[in-house]
């Protein structure tokens, strides 16, 4: 037999085998009417449920990747597809080649998405099923379209270009050199781009083997989980012991992963929208950290540009605005502190709804020139707003009628002459919790929010006998963070110690001793660490592991930054980077896990307000109403600067939807694109 004849027979044999495989594949797993078609020059498929199965409207679907060639989905996915079909869910995908999540591949994905949603009537929120390198493709599309994603399921998905395929192999698909791609990883590497998904609370669930050497668990699914949790996003990782990168049937027969896809594919658009999307109930927002979940905040404004309304707030107060539905609440006070007020403004019109005198004070203690008698920020919920003026009183107000439901004026303390009140309350369940850290008394107290009666009180476990009285006070407020797998704790910085308590009863869990006092910024949480400012005169930023018990001063401080830290403005955490601005306008970028300084730059002016993070932008407001908008990056980049004149500003802004609410010395502004 000649070589030529053997080659022809071999080719015919391979061709026949491929036809047989294709026939078996369709016969074996596809119980619906599979449609293979060409779209934008790429192979695409849609596999709807079999005739006779009820299909919800709009058609729910799972977007599967990768689908290189026409071999996927294949036999392995049979079990999973059958169960999706039984619930009326379609499976679809498109082969964009080895795009590795490149912009070109993302554009093809967006066109395919529009084909299915706009022309074929499929749901605008599919569940994405990312297997292996499909993670690069689907995640990079998802972070640019977070409102178009119902959930992300992953089977050992690639989420890190550095892990697989590596920059040298991937750079060609991106049309860059290896070095150029390295410098732009924040724009193209999924693990560096999770913030938009976390802001919209896109649920994520992966299944991954701990023996995967091709796509290692630690640098892919586990890294996504750690970073996503730090950003406040919902994520679960199922780790399979002993499994690697293979076509083991257990990947595709995971009941939990399949149930996850069914649940989120069948969820109607907007059905998972949380109240926090429309409320800003406390200082630094619903997440306690300055995150604004919405998008499309204005980048530019002035007194004459993008200001919808400007409301006058009488007298003086530095409490930040809090918002519930159509109401905005702030507090204010006479400059001499003898009359204290709560003011409610209509969010839509800027008109005053309530201007309520709350307390009269006969002999107020003199305060610092930079402070006010209405600096603590209220906290608001459905039907009630809780206002606090430090030693001068606390009250609960009916938001509809303006009636005072209860008040307390017995929580007296010595704020110190030329200082004044500063710590704000917050709500945890049925408790209104606040720090009382003064010259004479130091404790944390929880009041029953229904009647104002004491639920619990915990004295600070610090021996203040040898501490000068001016070094016993503080102006910080607590933060609620996780404790273990399912628990919660409140971390409450005070003079000489940072202490953690059980929210339900005030039992002390752990403490870290320090030398400082008069600290003000609220702590923030991420990467399993609590980030706390220690001291006012010489502030330091400490990262603490909050899982200890007892005195953990010598064991649980992970790192410290000792210079250039803020005494009044709080930090903001974005992915792996912390951003701060101190009183003098020195902005600093810090590696959140190590405390290493990435850069330091000076911004214009002095700073008291804490920043807002939204849509890959950080908004820093200085004390002269100038806002500098930065890109949250390892490279210092100013996106815009905006001024509202020279009016004094010390309150932190609030955000609802596409709108900024900014309080200055005399006014409250509604700022949004027009």
**For residue 576, which of 560, 598, 555, 557 has the smallest C-alpha distance?**
598
What's the rounded mean pLDDT across residues 518-544? 96
In angstroms, the CA 69 to CA 137 distance is 15
- Residue 480 burial class via C-beta count within 10 angstroms: exposed 0-12, middle 13-18, buried 19 and up: middle
What's the rounded mean pLDDT across residues 545-562? 97
In this prediction, residue 76 carries a pLDDT of: 81
In this prediction, residue 315 carries a pLDDT of: 97
Q: What is the pLDDT of residues 426-447, one digit of tens each?
A: 999 999 999 999 999 999 999 9
What's the rounded mean pLDDT across residues 627-643? 95
- Indicate if the pLDDT at residue 128 is higher than 70: yes
In this prediction, residue 22 carries a pLDDT of: 34
* 237 three-class SS: strand
Q: What is the pLDDT of residues 65-93, one digit of tens each?
A: 987 655 567 778 889 999 999 999 999 99
In angstroms, the CA 664 to CA 648 distance is 6
- Indicate if the pLDDT at residue 14 is higher than 70: no
Q: Is the pTM of this model over 0.75?
A: no
Exposure string of 131-148, with b = 16+ CB inside 10 Å and e = fewer, is: bbbbbbbbbbbbbeebeb
Based on DSSP, count helices (H) and strands (E) in the chain, helices before strands. Answer: 11, 41
Residue 466: phi, psi to the nearest 5? Answer: -100, 10
In angstroms, the CA 263 to CA 457 distance is 43
- Indicate if the pLDDT at residue 328 is higher than 60: yes
Contacts of 221 (CB under 8 A, 6+ apart): 154, 156, 157, 159, 206, 208, 237
Alpha carbon separation from 89 to 31, 61, 122, 254 (Å, rounded):
12, 5, 10, 17
In this prediction, residue 277 carries a pLDDT of: 53
What's the rounded mean pLDDT across residues 325-344? 97
Sign for the pseudo-dihedral over CA of 116, 122, 125, 126: negative
In angstroms, the CA 134 to CA 140 distance is 10
* 328 three-class SS: strand
Contact of 64 with 72, CB cutoff 8 Å: yes
- Residue 32's pLDDT band, with cuts at 50, 70 and 90, is low
Neighbour order of strands in the sheet with 339-346: 322-324, 327-333, 339-346, 352-360
Q: What is the pLDDT of residues 580-605, one digit of tens each?
A: 999 999 999 999 999 999 999 999 99
Please report, rounded to a whole number, the percentage of residues in the chain having pLDDT higher than 70.
93
* 96 three-class SS: coil
Residue 239: phi, psi to the nearest 5? Answer: -100, 125
- Indicate if the pLDDT at residue 346 is higher than 60: yes
Structure-model confidence comparison of residues 367 and 1, the more confident one? 367
Mean predicted lDDT score pLDDT of the chain:
91
In this prediction, residue 632 carries a pLDDT of: 92
Q: What is the pLDDT of residues 456-469, one digit of tens each?
A: 999 999 999 999 99
What's the rounded mean pLDDT across residues 185-207? 95
What's the rounded mean pLDDT across residues 17-32? 38
- Indicate if the pLDDT at residue 561 is higher than 60: yes
Q: What is the pLDDT of residues 268-309, one digit of tens each?
A: 755 444 333 589 999 999 999 999 987 789 999 999 999 999
In angstroms, the CA 200 to CA 272 distance is 10
Contacts of 523 (CB under 8 A, 6+ apart): 476, 478, 479, 491, 493, 498, 530, 531, 532, 533
Query: What is the chain's Cα-based Rg?
Result: 28
Contact of 340 with 317, CB cutoff 8 Å: no
In angstroms, the CA 587 to CA 575 distance is 17
- What's the farthest any 2 CA atoms get from each other in the chain? 114
What's the rounded mean pLDDT across residues 202-212? 97
- Indicate if the pLDDT at residue 31 is higher than 80: no
Q: Residue 550 CA to chain centroid, in angstroms?
A: 30
Q: What share of the chain is helix, strand, coil (3-state, %, to 5)?
A: 20, 35, 50
**DSSP class of residue 116?**
I
- Indicate if the pLDDT at residue 2 is higher than 90: no
Q: Say which range, 70-74, 105-109, 205-209, 364-368, has the weakest mean pLDDT.
A: 70-74
- Residue 662 burial class via C-beta count within 10 angstroms: exposed 0-12, middle 13-18, buried 19 and up: buried
């Amino acid at each position: 037999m000649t070589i030529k004849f053997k080659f022809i027979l071999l080719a015919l044999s391979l061709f026949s085998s491929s036809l047989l495989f294709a026939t078996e594949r369709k016969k074996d797993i596809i119980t619906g009417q599979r449609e293979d078609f060409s779209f934008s020059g790429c192979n695409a498929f849609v596999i709807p449920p079999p005739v006779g199965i009820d299909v919800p409207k709009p058609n729910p679907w799972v977007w599967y990747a990768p689908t290189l060639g026409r071999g996927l989905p294949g036999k392995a996915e049979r079990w999973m597809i059958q169960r999706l079909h039984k619930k009326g869910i379609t499976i679809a995908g498109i082969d964009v080649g080895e795009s590795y999540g490149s912009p070109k591949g993302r554009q093809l994905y967006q066109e395919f998405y529009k084909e299915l949603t706009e022309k074929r009537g499929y749901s605008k929120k599919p569940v994405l099923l990312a297997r292996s390198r499909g993670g690069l493709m689907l995640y990079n599309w998802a972070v640019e379209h977070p409102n178009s994603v119902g959930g992300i399921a992953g089977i050992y998905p690639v989420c890190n270009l550095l892990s697989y395929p590596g920059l040298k192999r991937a750079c060609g698909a991106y049309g860059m050199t290896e070095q150029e791609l390295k410098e732009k990883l924040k724009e193209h590497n999924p693990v560096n781009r999770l913030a938009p998904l976390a802001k919209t609370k896109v649920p994520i669930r992966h299944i991954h083997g701990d023996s995967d050497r091709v796509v290692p668990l630690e640098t892919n699914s586990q890294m996504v989980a750690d970073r996503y949790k730090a950003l406040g996003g919902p994520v679960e990782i199922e780790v399979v012991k002993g499994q690697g990168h293979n076509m083991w049937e257990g990947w595709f027969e995971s009941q939990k992963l399949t149930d996850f896809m069914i649940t989120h594919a069948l969820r109607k658009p907007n059905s998972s929208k949380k109240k926090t999307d429309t409320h800003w109930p406390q200082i630094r927002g619903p997440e306690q950290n300055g995150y604004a979940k919405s998008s499309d905040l204005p980048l530019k404004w002035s007194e004459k540009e993008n200001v919808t309304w400007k409301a006058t707030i009488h007298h003086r107060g530095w409490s930040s605005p809090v918002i519930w539905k159509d109401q905005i609440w702030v507090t204010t006070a006479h400059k001499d502190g003898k009359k204290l007020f709560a003011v409610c403004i209509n969010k839509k019109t800027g008109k005053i709804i309530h201007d309520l005198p709350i307390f009269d004070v006969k002999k107020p203690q003199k305060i610092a020139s930079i402070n006010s008698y209405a600096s603590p920020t209220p906290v608001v919920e459905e039907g009630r707003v809780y206002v606090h003026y430090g030693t001068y009183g606390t009250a609960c107000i009916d938001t509809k009628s303006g009636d005072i439901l209860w008040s307390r004026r017995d929580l007296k303390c010595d704020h110190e002459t030329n200082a004044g009140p500063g710590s704000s309350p917050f709500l945890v369940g049925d408790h209104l919790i606040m720090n009382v850290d003064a010259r004479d008394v130091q404790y944390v107290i929880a009041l029953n929010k229904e009647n104002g009666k004491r639920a619990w009180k915990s004295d600070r476990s610090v021996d203040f006998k040898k501490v000068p009285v001016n070094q016993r006070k503080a102006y910080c407020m607590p933060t609620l963070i996780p404790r273990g797998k399912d628990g919660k704790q409140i971390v409450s910085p005070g003079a000489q110690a940072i202490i953690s308590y059980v929210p339900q009863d005030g039992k002390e869990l752990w403490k870290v001793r320090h030398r400082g006092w008069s600290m003000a910024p609220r702590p923030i949480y991420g990467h399993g660490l609590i980030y706390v400012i220690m001291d006012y005169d010489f502030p330091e930023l400490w990262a603490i592991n909050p899982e200890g018990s007892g005195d953990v001063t010598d064991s649980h401080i992970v790192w410290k930054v000792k210079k250039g830290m803020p005494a009044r403005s709080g930090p903001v955490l974005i992915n792996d980077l912390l951003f701060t601005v101190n009183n003098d306008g020195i902005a600093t970028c810090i590696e959140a896990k190590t405390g290493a300084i990435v850069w330091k730059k000076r911004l214009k002016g002095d700073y008291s307000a804490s920043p807002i993070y939204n849509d890959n932008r950080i908004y820093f407001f200085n004390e002269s109403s100038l806002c500098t908008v930065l890109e949250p990056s390892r490279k210092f980049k100013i996106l815009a600067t905006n001024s509202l004149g020279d009016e004094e500003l010390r309150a932190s802004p609030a955000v609802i939807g596409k709108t900024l609410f900014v309080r200055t010395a005399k006014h409250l502004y509604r700022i949004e694109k027009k």
